[in-house]
Amino acid sequence: MDFSFTEKEEAFRTELRTWLENNLPDGWLEGNRELPEELNEYSIFLRNWQRKLYEGGWAAIAWPEKYGGRDATLIEEIIYQQEMVRLKAPPLVNYVGIHMVAPTLMQIGTEDQKEAYIQKILTGEEVWCQGYSEPNAGSDLTAIQTAAVKDGDKWIINGQKVWTSFGHLADRCFLLARTSRGEKKHKGITVFLLDMKQPGVETRPIIQMDGKHDFNEVYLTDAVAYDSDIVGELDEGWRVMIALLMHERTGIGAQVFTLEQQFQDLAAMAKELHEDGSPLIKNPFVRKTMVDLYTKSKGSLLNYYRNLTKTLKSGQPGAEGSMDKLMVSELTQELFSQSVSIQGHQGMLWKEDAVAGKSYWQENYLYSFGMTIGGGTSEVQRNTIAERILGLPKDIGR
């Protein structure tokens, strides 16, 4: 493994860093990073940011040039992640579209689908969500009940989805529906590209324990789709779904760079906050905690690089993505738990009362529980690691 960057790669970093410094929203570099709370303003703010990234050629660097990307190498993607995180750039409102839907359409979609959707995903004109999970189908997606029934030239779709991130902002949904019932449960599932703005689609907010609204329940009552909205083959959506999930897991694993930055922020907070007149960082318990977290976050990063080296050699992301996802999500939870804990009684304060960063630490601690569930729970990742990396026997009951 060679961790040094070439001159060309460092030039790429400088180009991106300069662009970000010149184009981040007003006040962002100075630390004013509050996103609007009102939904419409929030949506406009993030869509504008995505448009700016697109115009600068920074919206989807990993995509092929013919679709508006930069054909970036994996190393350039790492540099991209590092710089976005270092300057704490605003999140991507069309994360699902850019990192999951469009790459899957490039792989499996028809020419008409590519033509209709890919450019609009890139510009942020159409935001996407992912409609997989249902009240009784999460880890086991073969249990989905949402059904699509053919009626003339239409598909009529009924059912309920849950935990649909960005569903309230989305124009379209990458939706799993059952189209027939065969002997094997994973057969008879089809992926549809669903118009979220039609009358048969109702989105209800789920408010998280931190008071925020990121995901939703989605009710489908005689919603309509057409043959041209099917991705891949009818009844063969399983393969399409797995392709999308691979993109999702690899993306979550890359949050190891965010974790690194969060560790740096934690160290800064421990130097700034005082207890009994002494900075927290001088407290032996805090020092031990910091060393422990540093060791683990460095370990995660090196593991990520090791997996990446394997991907670079084979050209394919493998089951190791589950390892990255597991380590990053569990460690993020530990980091934020410790960040609140070392604040002592001050750790219980919220919003304007909070002493460090307007409850940034508290909010992220609450949010971190979702990270070990979304994109596949830790238990499911452990199963994948056991079976596909360690070669252990299959999970009992499957």
Ligand X SMILES: Cc1cc2nc3c(=O)[nH]c(=O)nc-3n(C[C@H](O)[C@H](O)[C@H](O)COP(=O)(O)OP(=O)(O)OC[C@H]3O[C@@H](n4cnc5c(N)ncnc54)[C@H](O)[C@@H]3O)c2cc1C
| Contact residues: ligand X, CB under 6 A | 129-133, 138-139, 163-165, 215, 370, 373-374, 376-377, 379-380, 383, 395
For 57: left if phi > 0, alpha if psi spans -120 to 50, otherwise beta; the answer is: left
**Shortest separation between residue 145's beta carbon and ligand X, angstroms:** 13
- Is there a catalytic annotation at residue 76? no
Q: Which is nearer to ligand X, 21 or 395 (CB)?
A: 395
Which residue number places its CB atom closest to ligand X? Answer: 138
Residues 172, 175, 178: CA angle, nearest 5 degrees: 150
Q: Which is nearer to ligand X, 165 or 346 (CB)?
A: 165
CB 194 within 8 A of CB 225: yes
- Please state the closest distance from residue 129 (CB atom) to ligand X, in A: 6
Of 206 and 234, CB closest to ligand X: 206
Of 76, 236, 248, 363, which one is the catalytic site residue?
Answer: 248
- Residue 50 structure tokens: 């995505």
Identify residue 93 by its one-letter amino acid code. Answer: V
Query: Phi and psi for 348 in degrees, rounded to 5?
Result: -85, -5
If the CB atoms of residues 12 and 132 are measured against ligand X, the closer one turns out to be: 132
DSSP 3-state of 191: strand
Per the CB < 8 A criterion, the answer to whether 85 and 257 are in contact is yes
* Calpha distance 310→328 (Å, rounded): 18
Residue with smaller CB distance to ligand X, 12 or 128: 128
- Shortest Å distance, C-beta 267 to ligand X: 27
Q: Which is nearer to ligand X, 131 or 188 (CB)?
A: 131
**Cβ 240 to ligand X, closest distance in Å?**
14
Positive or negative torsion for Cα 74, 77, 78, 79: positive
Backbone angles phi, psi at 358, to 5 degrees: 45, 55
Return the DSSP state at 183. S
Give me the least distance between CB of 143 and ligand X, in Å please: 9
In the complex, minimum distance from the CB of residue 342 to ligand X, in angstroms, rounded to a whole number: 25
Helices (H), 157-283: 237-253, 256-272
Q: Estimate to the nearest angstrom the gap between the alpha carbon of 254 and the chain centroid.
A: 9
- Smaller CB separation from ligand X, 72 or 193: 193
10 Å CB burial of residue 313 (0-12, 13-18, 19+) is exposed
Which one, of 118, 69, 124, 68, lies nearest residue 93 by Cα? 124
Rounded Cα distance between 292 and 271, Å, is 17
- Total count of residues recorded for the chain: 398
d(CA 342, CA 346): 9
- The least CB distance from residue 80 to ligand X, in Å, is 23
Active-site residue numbers? 248
